[in-house]
Amino acid sequence: MAELRYVGKPATRVDALEKVLGQARYIADYRLPGMIYARALRST
């Protein structure tokens, strides 16, 4: 059987670097021009 290239071998997460540096951008980190905000107003 041919040697497996990926199975059983460790892999580095592709976005780990930007995450450890605090540079990864999550949804709450975006500020767009003209961005509006909304929130749910629930009945009581």
Partner 1 sequence: MKIDFTLNGSEISAEAPADMTLLAFLRDILALTGTKEGCAVGECGACSVILDGRLVNSCLVLVGQVNGRDVITIEGIHGPNGKPNDLQQAFIDYGAVQCGYCIPGMILAGEALLATKPNPTRHEIRTAIAGNLCRCTGYQQIVDAIQATAAHRFQGGDNGRA
Contact 15, 24 (CB under 8 A): yes
Of 1 and 25, CB closest to partner 1: 25
Q: Is 36 in the site for partner 1 (CB under 8 A)?
A: no
| Number of residues this chain uses to bind partner 1 (CB under 8 A) | 17
d(CA 19, CA 12): 13
d(CA 35, CA 7): 44
* Near partner 1 by CB under 8 A: residue from 1, 4, 7, 20: 20
Q: Is 5 in the site for partner 1 (CB under 8 A)?
A: no
Contact 24, 18 (CB under 8 A): yes
The binding site for partner 1 (CB under 8 A) comprises: 10, 12-13, 15-17, 19-26, 28-29, 31
